[in-house]
Structure 1
Amino acid sequence: MSELEVVIEYKSTPQRVGLFIMGALMPLWAIVVPFCLGFFISMLLQAQAVPPLISAVVLTVLMAIPFVSIVIAAICEDDRLLVSKEGFSFPLLFLPMLKFRRERLWSDLSEARLLISDTQNQSKEKLPQGKLDLHFNSGGHVSIPLKSLKRSDLERLLLSLEVWGAQCRRAPELIAFHDQLQNENLGIDKLSYTQMWEEELSRRFSATAFVPLEPDRKLQNGRIKIVKQLAFGGLSAIYLAQLNEKDMVIVKEAVIPEGTDEKARDKAMELFAREAQFLIRLDHDQIAKVFDHFHEEGRHYLLLEYVRGQDLRQLVKQNGPQATVHVVKWAHEIAGILKYLHEQAPPIVHRDLTPENIVLNENGSVKLIDFGAANEFVGTATGTLVGKQAYMAPEQLRGKASTLSDIYALGGTLHYLLTAKDPEPLSESNPKDLRPDVPDALNELIYKLTSMEESDRPQSAVVVAERFADLRVTIGTGADNSNGKDNGKNGNKESNGKNGQEPGQ
């Protein structure tokens, strides 16, 4: 939602029916009635004896039919709800409820509520039966049926309410519903209140964790406003934030606990600042831009581009193992990204190449959205290992990460995409054991990528990219016909950040 205007499609049943009827009757009101009007006017001009009252009624009716038909068609065809930093522009259908003022400012919004009528009979977008109610201070309100919105559009609308409509009252059930949608996108099952309470206590009072920033917290003298927490764990957190009250960005936070050795702390800060400068200089279409780094009140931050789309872990959780033709395409693109990083001077080692750090954007390409700099920062300061061990090469676990460590992580990520199972830590990945239809050539390459010894892996991202380019040609031309059957079942679906993400394709 980095753009300043969000376009949300609104397609209600009355609109669909009305547009169908007006389309079916178009020959009548657009051709026949105007012809009759012209014919009647010609009769009057030829001094035909028609009583004045009848003439007036006939002319009024014949002129009114096309005019009213055009108005109804326009109302039925207007299916866009525009949401921007300034406010709303509602479809014409809502004019009577809004007292004929379709443009409304955020400052006019007084309350947003969610009314759920049936949770069992869900729409094809997996949304419950219900409606979103918006009430305005100057009078009027709108009721938006959930079934009239796409799931991704509803998520964007709810996020807009959270970001730009912060001054209005959002009902608790609306906030809970928004959180539920995001949890489902992340593949998190619904928790009981007891589980949620236990997790909240654990999060806030664990001796090894820190207390994350709360929504509306401002950083850098108000330049950055925290919107919501996206993830946290150990000594780091990731937030969705607003930059200069308009653009959405990602803030990654890392904290060194009190009592850390001063020498280790200084070394960590030096490495973090140096690597952040390298990351800021990167310019690649498939790498999320790093805008800035700073520290404030003992906490250290990276400011990153907010990329709309669905990360690959979400994609697999929702759709299962992916078609090999897709996996090979993404692998080729990721290898190209690693090639760019590893060719920097000095080479940049990502250190955290995992499914959740790769987003599938709206055009079907992948984009790298996070770096392991913050994890390395915490690890250097505390002497502990920070990261996802299933995707870490042996040398990285020993504190000696290299460019070949990223190649190992790529192999583990591909194993997950093909099997929906995280790879076994410290082992060569062999996805064919779990999924027999994986082509031998692809299985062999993933096995080599995840070799325990660095010398047994392909020695550069350039080589890896070339191997996947060859596989794309082989699989794309139908050599792996057995995988055509899984494209429909396990292929990716289009989605709008989410994100989030929704995400991507």
Structure 2
Amino acid sequence: MFKTRQLLGKYRIERKLADGGFASVFQAFDTIEGIHVALKVPHAGHVTDKTLSDFRREVRLLSRLEHPNILSLKDASFIDGHFVIVYPLGERTLSDRLRSRMSIANILDLTDQMLDAAAYAHSEKIIHCDIKPENMLLFPGHTLKLTDFGIAKIAQKTVRGAGTGTIGYMAPEQAMGKPSFRSDVFSLGLIVYRMISGVWPEYPYDWPGPGISRVRKRVTPEFVDFLKRSTDPRPRARYRDAIHMQNVFRRVRGGVFKKNQTKFTPGKTSMRARAA
């Protein structure tokens, strides 16, 4: 869509970061503020009244959410005929980070942050519907921020979807067009399981998942039960929302830390002090 060093308003394009179903994301340099940013731009072939309406909806949704673990919005406007959404630029995605091993301390810290973000969204009656490592950005200070609420649903008495989301991260009922808060819980549980086990559970989901022996070596039985309930294929068997899930996580994580604290090497990144 754009060439390197091409100017889009005040933004100088540096490189493409990702391609999505409806938009591309670019790294750019803000020539006025002197900072690097991320630009989300809809594909030209998908720029319709409905697409633009969806992006406007995402902007308005993000403007409601003020949380340290949810990616903030810098700007949204038409530039040179393109609808452009501007975000702060992260260092990498959680998906990138998962390519290398993580200590239990880091896993617990990142889990706490992602659950904090999802619990806040759920408290605002918003279902994300596409929670996955690619939609979690890492910033300096080991800070995680949840992003891409483009297909989020506003929870009502009856929530009707169309199977939106990403296959492999999606709860079974969401694939059938029936997303709920419990669907986000399922996706979060899969990510935590992946961080601990090093293996991504595949559909059809069943317990125990691949890599369970590694999970049992690294965490306590209480934490294993937490993961099992989070990823249960039956919606009603899961935690009712991320708020409930977070409360249980904060109750069982202490035992995991104590179990592993003797394994940590001095000088490695330790778990940040976070309010429980």
Q: Tell me, yes or no, if the aligned pair for 1:290 and 1:304 is still in contact at 8 Å.
A: yes
Matched residue type, 1:340? Y
Residue number in structure 2 paired with 1:312? 94
Give the superposition deviation at 1:459: 0.6
Residue number in structure 2 paired with 1:247? 35
3-state DSSP class of the match of 1:389? coil
Residue number in structure 1 paired with 2:10? 223
Q: Of the candidates 234, 244, 264, which is equivalent to residue 463 of structure 1?
A: 244
The size of the alignment, in residue pairs, is 258
In 1, the alpha carbon distance for the partners of 2:93 and 2:64 equals 24
* Inter-CA distance 474–431: structure 2 relative to 1 (3 Å threshold): farther
Give the superposition deviation at 1:228: 1.2
Residue number in structure 2 paired with 1:453? 234
Q: Tell me, yes or no, if the aligned pair for 1:241 and 1:251 is still in contact at 8 Å.
A: yes
In 2, the alpha carbon distance for the partners of 1:398 and 1:475 equals 35
Q: Of the candidates 427, 433, 458, which is equivalent to residue 212 of structure 2?
A: 433
* Inter-CA distance 391–275: structure 2 relative to 1 (3 Å threshold): same
Give the superposition deviation at 1:289: 0.8
Decide which structure has the larger Cα Rg and report it. Answer: 1
Worse-superposed segment, 401-410 or 353-362: 353-362
Q: Tell me, yes or no, if the aligned pair for 1:280 and 1:291 is still in contact at 8 Å.
A: no
Matched, 1:275 2:54: no
* Structure (1/2) with the larger helix percentage: 1
Could you state the TM-score of these two structures normalised by the residue count of structure 1?
0.45
In 1, the alpha carbon distance for the partners of 2:227 and 2:83 equals 36
Matched, 1:353 2:116: no
3-state DSSP class of the match of 2:131? coil
For structure 1, the 5+ residue unaligned runs are: 1-211, 377-382, 494-505
Q: Tell me, yes or no, if the aligned pair for 1:391 and 1:425 is still in contact at 8 Å.
A: no
Matched residue type, 1:408? F
Question: Which is bigger in relative contact order (C-alpha 8 A, separation at least 6)?
Answer: 2
Q: Tell me, yes or no, if the aligned pair for 1:235 and 1:256 is still in contact at 8 Å.
A: no
Q: Tell me, yes or no, if the aligned pair for 2:69 and 2:116 is still in contact at 8 Å.
A: no
Matched, 1:238 2:25: yes
Give the superposition deviation at 1:375: 9.4
| 1:130-177, Cα deviation, whole Å (9 max, x unpaired) | xxxxxxxxxxxxxxxxxxxxxxxxxxxxxxxxxxxxxxxxxxxxxxxx
For structure 2, the 5+ residue unaligned runs are: 154-160, 271-276
In 1, the alpha carbon distance for the partners of 2:163 and 2:43 equals 14
Residue number in structure 1 paired with 2:150? 373
Q: Of the candidates 394, 407, 415, which is equivalent to residue 172 of structure 2?
A: 394
* Inter-CA distance 445–372: structure 2 relative to 1 (3 Å threshold): same
In 2, the alpha carbon distance for the partners of 1:351 and 1:256 equals 25
Q: Tell me the C-alpha RMSD between the 2 structures.
A: 3.2
Give the superposition deviation at 1:392: 1.2
**Identical counterparts, % of pairs:** 24
Give the superposition deviation at 1:492: 5.8
Matched residue type, 1:313? S
Could you state the TM-score of these two structures normalised by the residue count of structure 2?
0.78
In 2, the alpha carbon distance for the partners of 1:323 and 1:253 equals 36
